[in-house]
Amino acid sequence: MPQSNRQICLASHPVGVPSEENFQLVEREVPDPQEGELLIKSHYLSVDPYLRGVIGGRSAYLGSIAEGDVIPGGAVGTVVASRSPGFAPGDVVSGYWGWQEYALSDGQRLTPFDTSLAPMSTALGILGMPGLTAYFGFLEIGQPERGEQVFVSAAAGAVGSLVCQIGKIMGCRVAGSAGSEAKIAYLTEHLGIDAAFDYTDTDNYGDALHSVCPGGIDVYFDNVGGPLTDAVFPQLNDRARVVVCGQIDQYNDVERSRGPRLLWHLIVHQARAEGFLVQQFADRFAEGRDQLVHWLQDGKITYRESVAFGIENTPKAFIGLFSGENIGKQLVKVVE
Ligand SMILES: NC(=O)c1ccc[n+]([C@@H]2O[C@H](COP(=O)([O-])OP(=O)(O)OC[C@H]3O[C@@H](n4cnc5c(N)ncnc54)[C@H](OP(=O)(O)O)[C@@H]3O)[C@@H](O)[C@H]2O)c1
């Protein structure tokens, strides 16, 4: 049994964009599982935008953590010791045991993962929380119909890149925005969406949107918020749906920003804007995962991962989400 368990803990609550000083690498003893418990070794850790709210103490729905606490991110790994009847060494499970190399669990809130279906890392990406967010958010809230125009912001990220592909499966015309030339090439050449623009390369989002969606927008899958979303509203078609998935443009705001008041466009176009949390679909996760596995195995969807190596690089990988360092799902690999 290994001696030490390296963990990434909160050193201080960030104000504005998080920095590496907000995190601390701590070494503790690897705990022994007691009766009913199991010990898990992490293979991959997940860094996700929602953690910004958790570490900032501002997340009303996800809870917040205190200085010294382990960052409670998603992870996937193998059971290395078990005194729990439902688990045996070698089982692969995912859960939210946080950014640490080893974790004790009582077996609750773990999801078994079948590595004959796909590599273990996908439990945190296309077959995990981001995949289910794309699947249920787009299909259930967005209600896309064949031939409709879909626009996706942060289109080259974990959630966005899957929404784009499901949009194509549904027979929609799909356009997106992302923050670099490499991401635009990934979207148009690799994922085969119809059009995309680099929002960092224009000072007129309205014109850029019109050029990629000349017929207006029927479904807007919003990962970003802020000025980009302000520019989408005037381009909504009648009966459009705005799927409010994320507002990453505002996660590091120190003061609440006030944007243009655009709800008028919802009235004029009899459009609907609806926020959602992936967790609201928890009782249908198995159905969503099954469909995603089928599409993956049939080659109808694909995924990309950006992988950092070493638990000590987890804060850097997390911070990189806010400057768009990742294409697809950002992960940290913690075992060789
Ligand atoms: N509602 C839910 O239940 C739920 C669940 C999961 C995720 N989400 C939300 O969905 C969104 C995507 O999550 P994800 O895990 O797939 O992350 P991701 O898209 O893989 O990574 C975040 C991306 O956001 C973009 N970004 C960062 N700051 C930005 C800004 N100021 N303006 C525009 N783009 C910015 C960056 O790409 P660029 O290079 O393109 O800027 C970055 O790669 C997030 O807003 C997240 O909070 C919601």
**223-244 residue pLDDT tens:** 999 999 999 999 999 999 999 9
160 Cα–ligand 1 center, Å:
8
Say yes or no: CB of residue 231 within 6 Å of ligand 1.
Answer: no
For residue 45, the cross-strand partners are 75, 332
% of the chain at pLDDT higher than 70: 98
Ligand 1: residue whose CA is nearest its atom 20: 157
CA distance 101 to 43: 8
Query: Does residue 321 line the site of ligand 1, with CB under 6 A?
Result: yes
| pLDDT over 90 at 3, yes or no | no
User: How high is the pLDDT of residue 253?
Assistant: 94
Determine whether 140 is exposed, middle or buried from the number of CB atoms within 10 Å of its CB (0-12, 13-18, 19+): middle
| Closest approach atom of ligand 1 to CA 179 | 39
For residues 23-49, average pLDDT: 97
Q: Which of 140, 243, 248, 329 to mutate to test the pocket of ligand 1 (most atoms within 8 A of CB)?
A: 248
Structure confidence at residue 256 (pLDDT): 87
Query: Tell me, what's the pLDDT at 265?
Result: 97
pLDDT tens sequence across 104-140: 999 999 999 999 999 999 999 999 999 999 999 999 9
Average pLDDT, integer, range 71-94: 97
Q: In the prediction, which pLDDT does 64 show?
A: 82
Interval 40-71: pLDDT, tens? 999 999 999 999 999 997 666 777 899 999 99
Query: What per-residue confidence (pLDDT) applies to 325?
Result: 98
Span 168-226, pLDDT tens digits = 999 999 999 999 999 999 999 999 999 999 999 999 999 999 999 999 999 999 999 99
Asked whether the predicted pLDDT for residue 1 surpasses 90, the reply is no
Confidence (pTM) = 0.98
pLDDT of residue 326: 98
Picking from 1-15, 86-100, 115-129, 198-212, which range would have the lowest pLDDT averaged per residue?
1-15
Least reliable range by pLDDT among 81-90, 142-151, 250-259: 250-259
pLDDT > 90? residue 72: yes
**Amino acid identity at 317:** A
Would you state the pLDDT for residue 58? 65
Q: Is the CB of 278 under 6 A from ligand 1?
A: yes
Question: Residue 107 C-alpha to ligand 1 middle, in angstroms?
Answer: 30
Rounded CA-CA distance 125/215 in Å is: 32
**Which pLDDT does position 57 carry in this prediction?**
77
Residues 6+ apart with CB under 8 A from 34: 83
% of residues, the chain, pLDDT over 90: 95
- Catalogue the long-range contacts made by 55-60 (C-beta closer than 8 Å, 24 or more residues apart): 55/10, 55/13, 55/14, 55/18, 55/22, 56/13, 56/14, 56/15, 57/13
